[in-house]
Amino acid sequence: MEENTVLDVKNLKKYFMVKMGFLKSLLSKEQLYVRAVDGVSFRIGEREIFGLVGESGCGKTTTGRSILRLIEPTSGQVNFKGSDLIKLDPTEMRNMRRRLQIIFQDPYESLNPRMSIYDILAEPLQLQHIAEGPDEIIGLETKVLGEMGLVPPEEFLYRFPHELSGGQRQRVAVARAFIMTPEFVVADEPVSMLDASMRTEVVELILGMVQKLACAFLYITHDIALTRYICNRVGVMYLGQIVELGLTEDIVHHPHHPYTEALLAAVPVPDPTARRREIVIKGEVANPINPPPGCRFHPRCPYAKGRCGKEEPKLSPSGKGRTVACHFPLE
């Protein structure tokens, strides 16, 4: 695992400035920040799909985009095969882009409605000088569309996004990422807009491509149940931080962080006879401009003690291959 690490994120932070009026900014000494991502660290190996799970606003999307520098992170390191992405100058970063790809959630938004499938797939190839002539491009395109189960591929090349169903569009979005033979891919909720019956196939296509290209894959999602079927390891995020990280099966069956426990208890189960678990936490997520002192989860935590409100817990080992940021981890 250590030897074939593809991506190593260390202490990544992204603070967004809170906009204030001109006069107000003169009067108040302190500039306020939304701490969207506040010290996130993890690694992803070759052929590995790492999951980042959390509720909306926890910072998982910002993490994914900061790693690819689609938004500039505030600080931290993103070591990708020997170079720190954060330190690259714009030209170096542009050359690096071929090896880094992203798949977005909404195929209705991520595909330009005025471009044919041919153009959508050809654009990155031409920009990165991977293929020049139309014959070469068509060759690559039909190959990847075939791999995505859009058969016969020739029939799809000159269609436009609006002529495709949601499931087909998302396959095109996946194809656009994989046609570049990337070494690292971020997928932000790639199947959450799809109906359940469409989802499985797209998931299997992604799993297959990751093995085939031997790339590293960051899977960002709110759906922890589906994560079990996709990710070997997973990190659970709360208010800009990873609170628990480990093997997906271990975490799902034996959560060590109270937040993970609460999140799992809330997930509905497709079985009417399953025992209904009580929801143990109340209230809603705190404001990321002014997160609670100490452990950020302590105001909602049913097990919180005095120390939790004062001292911030660090991610520390808790069992085999697992780290937890909690003063009193569950056993």
Partner 1 sequence: MMLRGYLLRRILTSIFILWVVITLNFVIFRVIHPVGDPSQLIIQPGFPPEAREMLREIWGLNQPLFPDQYGKYILNLLTWQYGYTFSTPPRPIGPEMAWRLRNTLILLGMGLIGTVAIGLPLGVLAGSRRGKKTDVLVMGAGLLTWGLPSFFLQLLFLLFFAYYSNVWFGFQLMPFGGVMSYPPPKNPIILVGDVLQHAAGPVITLILISFGSWALYARNMIIDALTEDFIVTAKAKGLRERDVLYKHAFRSILPPIATMIAMAIPGLVTGAIITESIFNWPGIGQWYIAALNTGNHPVTQAVLFNFAFLMIIANLLSDVLYGLLDPRIKVGVRR
Partner 2 sequence: MGLLDVENLTTYFDILRGEVKAVENISFTVEKGDAFGLAGESGCGKTTTALSILRLLPQNGKVISGEIHFEGKNLLEMNPEKYRKDIRWKKISVIFQGAMNSLNPVMTVGQQISEAILTHENLSKEEALDRAGKLLDLVGIGSERVERYAHELSGGMRQRAIIAMALSSNPSFIIADEPTTALDVIIEAQVLKVIKDLQKKLNIAMAVISHDLSMIAETCDRIGIMYAGKIVERGDIARIYKEPFHPYTKLLLGAFPSILGPIAKLSRISGFPPDLLSPPPGCRFHPRCPYAMDKCGKEDPQSIHIKGEDHFVACHLVE
Contacts with partner 2, residue ranges (CB under 8 A): 55-56, 165-168, 195-201, 203-204, 222-226, 228-229, 249, 252, 262-274, 276, 279, 281-282, 284
Q: Under the rule (CB under 8 A), what is the footprint of partner 1?
A: 19-21, 23
Q: Which partner in partner 1, partner 2, none is near 324 (CB below 5 to 8 A by kind)? A: none
- Integer Cα distance of 51 and 69 in angstroms: 19
Q: Which partner in partner 2, partner 1, none is near 117 (CB below 5 to 8 A by kind)? A: none
Shorter beta-carbon distance to partner 1: residue 20 or 214: 20
Shorter beta-carbon distance to partner 1: residue 22 or 284: 22
CB of 19 to partner 1, least distance (A): 6
Q: Which partner in partner 2, partner 1, none is near 279 (CB below 5 to 8 A by kind)? A: partner 2
CB of 24 to partner 1, least distance (A): 9
Q: Which partner in partner 1, partner 2, none is near 136 (CB below 5 to 8 A by kind)? A: none
Shorter beta-carbon distance to partner 1: residue 21 or 283: 21
CB 97 within 8 A of CB 181: no
Sole residue written with tokens 């940021």 = 325
CB of 49 to partner 2, least distance (A): 14
Q: Which partner in partner 2, partner 1, none is near 23 (CB below 5 to 8 A by kind)? A: partner 1
CB of 297 to partner 2, least distance (A): 12
DSSP label at 280? -
Q: Buried b / exposed e across 152-175, counting CB within 10 Å, b at 16+?
A: ebeebbeeebeebeebbbbbbbbb
Which alpha helices (H) appear in the chain, and where do they start and end? 22-27, 60-67, 90-96, 107-110, 117-127, 134-147, 153-157, 166-178, 196-213, 224-230, 248-253, 258-266
CB 281 within 8 A of CB 299: no
Pairing of strands 33-45, 316-317: unpaired
Peptide bond into 90 cis (omega under 30): no
CB of 110 to partner 1, least distance (A): 25
Q: Which partner in partner 2, partner 1, none is near 55 (CB below 5 to 8 A by kind)? A: partner 2
